[in-house]
Amino acid sequence: MSVAWGKVPAMERGPDERKVRFSPELQLALDCCAFGFRNGAAARPTPHHNIDWLRFLELVRFDRIEGIAWNALSAKDSLPHDVRSTLSQAASAIAAENLLAIVQCRALLEQFQSARVPLLFLKGLTTGALAYTNLAIKSALDIDLLIDPADLDRACELLRDCGYQLVAPQSRNAKALLRWHRQWKESVWAKDAPPSTIDLHTRTADNRRLIPTITVHSPSQFVELGIVSLPTLAPDELFAYLAVHGASSAWFRIKWISDFAGFLHDKSADEIERLYRRSQALGAGRASGQALLLADTLFGTLAGTPALSRELSSDRATQWLFEAALRLIAGEPVEPTERRLGTVAIHTTQFLMRPGIGFKISELRAQSARLMSRLLV
């Protein structure tokens, strides 16, 4: 029986797997994502005859996977004309935005390298290139840069030289911005021509006890994007970072877990287990277990490692985190602030990311401090 939006999908548990039956629209969206990162090894998804196409369009728009959906469905003659037109236009816009973003990233890299200010590119284009066979299909609304906290003032100067202005926090006071970065991992910058938004990170997680050693000076790799190669985190650090980033929002958008599964799709079972063990040493806590259980349920990521799947499921907190994320993914495609309890469910999950009362106290303090920083700016 398929699940309606807003309800928890029923789970049938076997000894080595969990089976979940989703609505036809959500299942089609997941199949489109799998086709996007499986290098042609997966057949193009075939839409269920009961698909509600308006609902499907609403879903992929919210989850920002319209380009991924078009990549998978464009060859289907049975696709309704209005759906074909909507997805095609959205995919063209995403491809154009990605090309523009690549140009912007090249300019930023040159500016920072010229000033000898270290930086890494997080998520976005670099993760898309690592996860999918077609760079043009992944939507990336902003550019995420990671710098050293000591370089904040200089980085702000460089961004202003490139035409960016501070958007969040709204204060233009340098001391206020420094206070903001003590509580928040990033500030937001934007410019109108050409339109571009930057999240400027001085650390990789809001809670300093999560992945504390992953910084701009961590091991890195270069990702080829045609006209430029951009530096990003090396695979071990990237695995941990993507897990923590998704967990920070309880994975409420499909594109995040699709990126994560795509990043892992060509890795062996032994390598996936090694990445998980390494993420624990890096301080990712239960975020990586939550991510793996979710990727396994949606895309079969742990099919070759049943022992690891059982190990992660046996931890009650990790299992609860996984089910909380699954509820959000299977729920109605609306922003968390528009849901009945708002962002309460997301904030609640953060307290379980690492065991121990010390982490819970630190998370309570961090959430309180971030709330106060919003009120004071």
Token duo for residue 173? 């006071």
User: Hey, how many other C-beta atoms are within 10 angstroms of the C-beta on 191?
Assistant: 17
3-class DSSP assignment, residue 80: coil
Q: For the chain, which residues make up each domain, given as ranges?
A: 11-376
CATH class of 11-376: alpha beta
Tell which phi-psi region holds residue 40, choosing left (phi > 0), alpha (psi between -120 and 50) or beta: left
Burial of 94 (0-12, 13-18, 19+ CB in 10 A): buried
Q: What is the pLDDT of residues 48-99, one digit of tens each?
A: 889 999 999 999 999 999 999 999 999 888 899 999 999 999 999 999 999 9
Q: Which of 377, 360, 303, 324 lies closest to 19 in space, CA to CA?
A: 303
* In contact, 119 and 42? CB cutoff 8 Å: no
Q: Which of 169, 119, 173 lies closest to 149 in space, CA to CA?
A: 119
Q: What is the pLDDT of residues 98-133, one digit of tens each?
A: 999 999 999 999 999 999 999 999 999 999 999 998
* In contact, 248 and 351? CB cutoff 8 Å: no
Q: Is the pLDDT of residue 42 over 80?
A: no
Burial of 302 (0-12, 13-18, 19+ CB in 10 A): buried
Q: Which pLDDT belongs to residue 48?
A: 84
Give the dihedral sign, CA 216/355/263/24: negative
Q: Which pLDDT belongs to residue 336?
A: 80
Q: What is the pLDDT of residues 78-87, one digit of tens each?
A: 899 999 999 9
Q: Which of 329, 338, 308 lies closest to 5 in space, CA to CA?
A: 329
Q: Which residue has the higher pLDDT, 20 or 201?
A: 201
Q: Which residues contact 344 (CB under 8 A, 6 or more apart)?
A: none
Length of the chain: 377
pTM, to two decimals: 0.92
Q: Which residue has the higher pLDDT, 313 or 16?
A: 313
Token duo for residue 23? 């609505």
Q: Which of 123, 128, 22 lies closest to 68 in space, CA to CA?
A: 128
Q: Is the pLDDT of residue 152 over 50?
A: yes
Q: Which pLDDT belongs to residue 117?
A: 98
Chain Cα centroid distance, residue 98? 16
